[in-house]
Amino acid sequence: MKRSIAYIAFFMLINSAVVAQKATAPAPCGPLPNANQLRWQELEMYAFIHYSLNTYTDQEWGFGNEQLSLFNPSDLDCRQWARVCKLSGMRGIIFTAKHHCGFCMWPSAYTDYSVKNTPWKGGHGDVVRELADACRKEGLKFAVYLSPWDRNHPQYGRPEYITYFRNQLRELLTQYGDIFEVWFDGANGGDGWYGGANETRRIDARTYYEWAETFRMIRELQPKCVIWNDGGDRGDLRWVGNEAGSVGETNWSLLNRLGTVHGGMLRNGLEDGDSWVAAETNTSIRPGWFYHETENENVKSLSRLMDTYYKSVGRNSTLLLNFPIAPNGRIHPTDSLRGIAFNRMINEVFRTDLARKATVEVSNTRGGSRKYDGCHAIDGKTDTYWATDDGVTNATLTLSFGKPTTFNRFLAEEYIPFGQRVKRFALEALAGGKWIQLTDQLSEVGDGMTTIGHRRIICFPAVTATKLRFTILDAKACPLISKVGVYMAPDITADTPDSGEKRCANYYIFFATDRMMFVNLGKEQTVTGFRYLPPQDSKDGTITRYRVSATTDWNHWEVLGEGEFSNIVNNPIWQSISCKPTRASVIRFEGLRLAQGERMAYSDVEVVGK
């Protein structure tokens, strides 16, 4: 008997050794992120800060001839900016050190058009310095935005300007400590002051800036920095093709190193791209990037911000959320409270992971080894993962909750140090003894179950089930899943603290001019009217005469109504405009005449449809 037991033990030992030998580590798949890109991806959310002379001229883009005397904030407090951003869940700040107007928020040695010649602090102030210091005191990363386009500089458009531009960049990269990202805007060339020439200058954004040499300088001075660039040579990160706060449901962190990049590539990446160029989603907490008093009632609602989170961080991107600075030098209280409510809601949604108490069953484990078993998808560790055998690109992971469990969010993450692999997946819930298919309710195309990457979050109506089955339908190579999570997100209502819920929360609203607003409905639908609620605390921007038009293609516009809002100044209530049933995907709302002020304003808008 003892001899038999010894034989069995010896056999099991040999068998375990064979299994362990078979369970070799998976090979990397395709282009891989470098260490800088991995660190950046882990930030997930960080803030944009827009502040310049534009703040005092009520403009989005300065012309380059704005008076330096305008810059004299009464209560500038960079520590307040950093605290608000930290409480809002941001892990870093990117600051507009120089916007298109050319005004420098630090005392640059290469221009007089900077804070050193303003009344603020007698010309001895340095906003970049104060913010860099504040970020480090609050434990935040710091980064800079430097506009390549300079509407003030007399040499813009000529070779001499590139030397000036690099000299300023060198100042920012050598005088303010570690920089986690350098951000170069894609707006380049046009009309401007240009030292008094007051003319239009055009450049070839692909060649004029000689990006290769500029990138080399950045790598040398800030070796741990990532580069965002929207033209010319490929940076480390890419734009997503819009400022609405969303990237495509399919989002590969890949592009080709060379060649033109069109909108579809920006939104979705390239499945077979030869370089790792992940997506960064940038949007503002308000309609504009810079502060406008008329937008105080138009700070994005909590539901809109959560929608942005799911469509950016939840689609394998990061979120760069802008907080504009008010003329007094502080983030406005409404923006502050909404940002903090945003972070509070994210924490509430993802506080309890229902998968952590579930049991896991998988259809395939790499080499049969516990090292790659499905349990690693719910162990809370970032350096372990479930992996299948080579050649197995269709596999299931089933979570058993042990009792009926209600949930409405699913999260999955790939182990991206070895590449992005999953092309398509499916979700099914065992409810009432039947398997039902789940789809992403935020998807604009299909069921939304495509790529995963660093993080994918699927939103669906609450379902009560005893099991959840996650099936990978196709992948480039054996999938490596480092995490799956299941959550129950609470409803957001007007009663949710600081939510700012309004009827316009479901639209993407932006301004083409100070008197023209576009309302993107997200999809084509039948419209029968439009409603406008004027500002409730000021007459500035109140529209007294209007025109409303609709389109399905941005080319052909049909006027839905034009007229006057009678007695709106004295009685600022909802104004209703009715029209015949009209198909539309975008509404254009024009303020033909305002009660006072130059920029149209609103408290809320609503599109009425069938």
Strand-pair partners of 429: 436, 468
pLDDT at position 17: 42
State the CB neighbour count (10 A cutoff) for residue 68. Answer: 18
DSSP letter string, 442-491: T-SSTT-----TT-EEEEEEEEEEEEEEEEEEEESSS-EEEEEEEE-PPP
Superfamily (CATH) of domain 354-487: Galactose-binding domain-like (2.60.120.260)
Per DSSP, helices labelled H in 139-288 are 159-175, 211-221, 263-268
Question: Residue 445 has what pLDDT?
Answer: 82
Cα gap 61→53, rounded to integer Å? 9
Q: Residue 8: what pLDDT?
A: 44
Q: What share of the chain is helix, strand, coil (3-state, %, to 5)?
A: 25, 30, 45
Domain boundaries along the sequence of the chain: 37-349, 354-487, 503-609
Q: Where would I find the beta strands (DSSP E) of 476-574?
A: 480-487, 508-513, 516-533, 543-551, 558-564
Q: Which of 241, 210, 236, 238 has its CA nearest to residue 224?
A: 236
Cα separation, 488 vs 354, in Å, equals 8
**Distance (Å, rounded) from C-alpha 580 to C-alpha 583?**
10
Quickly tell me which residue has 């303010």 as its tokens.
Answer: 176
Q: Return the pLDDT at 22.
A: 62
Q: Which residues, including other chains, have CB under 8 Å from residue 5's CB and lie 6 or more apart?
A: none
Across 79-92, b (16+ Cβ under 10 Å) vs e yields ebbbbbbbbbbbbb
Which residues are 275's β-sheet partners?
255
Among the listed residues 232, 242, 238, the one whose alpha carbon sits nearest the alpha carbon of residue 317: 238
> pLDDT of 437-457, one tens digit each?
999 999 988 899 999 999 999
pTM over 0.95: no
Both tokens of 589, joined, read 């709302």
Fold of 503-609: Jelly Rolls (2.60.120)
DSSP 188-230: --EEE-GGGT-EEE---TTTTT-HHHHHHHHHHH-TT-EEEES
In whole angstroms, give the CA distance from residue 405 to residue 403.
6
Which regions of the chain are under pLDDT 50?
1-21
Gap between the Cα atoms of 269 and 247, Å rounded? 10
Rounded to the nearest angstrom, the gap between the alpha carbon of residue 255 and the centroid of all alpha carbons in its chain is 19
Contacts of 160 (CB under 8 A, 6+ apart): none
Strand 181-184, strand 141-146: pairing: parallel
End-to-end CA distance of the chain, in Å? 81
**CA dihedral over 309, 312, 316, 322, signed as positive or negative:** negative
Residue 610, H or E segment: none
The domain 37-349: what is its CATH number?
3.20.20.80
Q: Do domains 37-349 and 503-609 have the same CATH topology?
A: no
The neighbouring-strand residues paired with 409 are 459, 487
d(CA 106, CA 249): 40
- Tell me the HSE value of 370 on the side-chain side, using a 13 A CA sphere: 3
CA-atom Rg of the chain in angstroms: 27
Tell me the residue length of the chain.
610
Q: Which of 513, 510, 417, 414 is nearest to 470 (CA)?
A: 414
Q: What's the pLDDT score for residue 401?
A: 98
Residue with tokens 């932006």: 510
The DSSP code sequence of 84-135 is HHHHTT--EEEEEEE-TT--BSS--TT-SSBGGGSSGGGGT--HHHHHHHHH
Cα–Cα distance measured from residue 171 to residue 289, given in angstroms and rounded to the nearest whole number: 25
Displacement of CA 289 from its chain's centroid (Å): 14
Spatial distance between the Cα atoms of 461 and 429, rounded to a whole number of angstroms: 12
| Residues 6+ away with beta carbon under 8 Å from 355 | 377, 378, 399, 484, 485, 486
Query: Residue with structure tokens 């490596």?
Result: 480
Q: How far apart are the C-alpha atoms of 200 and 602, rounded to whole Å?
A: 34
φ and ψ at 524, to 5 degrees? -75, 135
Which of 457, 468, 401 has the alpha carbon at shortest distance from 435? Answer: 468
